[in-house]
Structure 1
Amino acid sequence: MDKKEAKFMAYDWDGGEFRLLPSNDVVEAIHIAWNYEFDVYEVATENLIFSGREDNEANSEMLEPYGIRLIDDGNYRKLQNVKTGEIYNADWQS
């Protein structure tokens, strides 16, 4: 996926660079980046939309335009669809 096609990118702290995420689905993109402890940005605007270092409230505010929020669910923080209540589990949270 190139920069013209990609909607999301992650900041690689160790590499000191942005990396395009191989999914344009916001939940999947966040799960990919979160697994590597990367922050997620929109490619078009370069706005931060998710950071594992921020609390649920700050992340939920950034994710509001996407209709998702970050919640505590048992031992994990998870993404939840605001309208349907669906909770999205990452592969590593199963």
Structure 2
Amino acid sequence: MTENKFLAWDWDERCYKKIPSNDVVEAIHIAWNYEFDVFRAEDKQLIFSGQEDNEGNSEMLKPYGLRLIDFDGYRRLLNIETGEVYFPSWHKE
């Protein structure tokens, strides 16, 4: 695998952990499942926080073409250009 693009902040261990995906949507879903925040590995800039509201997250995610929205009672990632709503792998329809 190439160098990791994203890191998660582990609140319990108080350290960054590598996220095993360089796809921003998958990286966010992985970290979100553990209630971790997501940072760019290159400069440790916060790009997603489950503790932040939709508006704040959407502002951070704008460079990735994503927004955070409420959809069917859950918070979901939305592709700004295509309108696609992304569901995490653990989501059961």
Fold match, TM over 0.5?
A: yes
List per-residue Cα deviations over 1:31-77 (Å, max 9, x = no partner).
00000000000000110000000000000000000000000001210
Q: Which runs of 5+ in 2 are unaligned?
A: none
Q: Which runs of 4+ in 1 moved over 6 A?
A: none
Contact 1:80 1:88 in 2 (8 A): yes
- 1:64 maps to 2:67: no
SS of equivalent residue, structure 1 residue 93 = coil
Write the distance in 1 (CA, Å) between the matches of 2:90 and 2:56.
23
What's the % identity of the aligned pairs? 62
Write the distance in 2 (CA, Å) between the matches of 1:88 and 1:77.
10
Q: Which of 23, 26, 41 is the equivalent residue of 2:24?
A: 26
Query: How many residues are aligned here?
Result: 92
- The answer for the alignment partner of 1:14 in structure 2 is 12
- The answer for the alignment partner of 1:42 in structure 2 is 40
SS of equivalent residue, structure 1 residue 9 = strand
How does the TM-score come out when normalised to structure 1? 0.94
Give the AA of the match of 1:29.
Answer: A
Write the distance in 1 (CA, Å) between the matches of 2:13 and 2:90.
23
Q: Which runs of 5+ in 1 are unaligned?
A: none
How does the TM-score come out when normalised to structure 2? 0.95
Give the AA of the match of 2:70.
Answer: D
